[in-house]
Amino acid sequence: MKIAIASDHAAVDLKAELTDWLRSQGHEVNDLGPATADRVDYPDYGYKLAAVVAAGDADRGIALCGSGIGISIAVNRNPACRCALVSEPLSAALSREHNDANVIALGARLTGVDMAQACVTAFLSTEFGGGRHSGRVEKLSQPAL
């Protein structure tokens, strides 16, 4: 699977751990940065990740920042992205099954490597359930204002 991953400075270490682990699992990983722990702004990397996923250049995305909140908001500004902030495997799986999430967000200050790997595993291995969820998911990209 093609996976794009991006973070801010607070999550650069978790990003490196997940990138190495995903590649060892046979996935093609596009690390969108940053490369160092120098201070950066999470919206810049959230928007970059969203653009790659929206363009179809990645099957799924993983967004990381200190809490996961800020970068998930940035990713969700792109109407083609459905980013779910998760902290355990059940929410990661439900984000796929019910919401057809194409990006997950994790907080590096709140989630350890083992739990992050469990969340990513659930996210990547769960298919969208379709059916009664399909119409709701369609509405997520076309808000009625």
Residue 46 known to bind ligand: no
Question: Which is the catalytic residue, given 27, 81, 83, 98?
Answer: 98
98 a catalytic residue: yes
Whether 65 is catalytic is yes
The response to whether 132 counts as a known ligand-binding position is yes
Q: Is 61 annotated as a binding residue?
A: no
99 assigned ligand-binding residue: yes
104 marked as binding residue? no
Rounded CA-CA distance 46/41 in Å is 9
Q: Is 9 annotated as a binding residue?
A: yes
Q: Which of 65, 81, 83, 119 is an active site residue?
A: 65
The closest alpha carbon to 65, from 53, 74, 57, belongs to 74
DSSP symbols for 38-77: S---HHHHHHHHHHHHHTTS-SEEEEEESSSHHHHHHHTT
Beta bridge pairs of residue 104: 62, 84
Q: Is 134 helix (H, G, I), strand (E, B) or coil?
A: helix
Instruction: Classify residue 130 by its DSSP letter.
Output: -
The annotation status of 109 as a binding-site residue, yes or no, is: yes
- Tell me the binding residues: 8-9, 66-70, 99, 109, 132, 136
Residues taking part in catalysis: 65, 98
Annotated binding-site residues for D-ribulose 5-phosphate read 8-9, 66-70, 99, 109, 132, 136
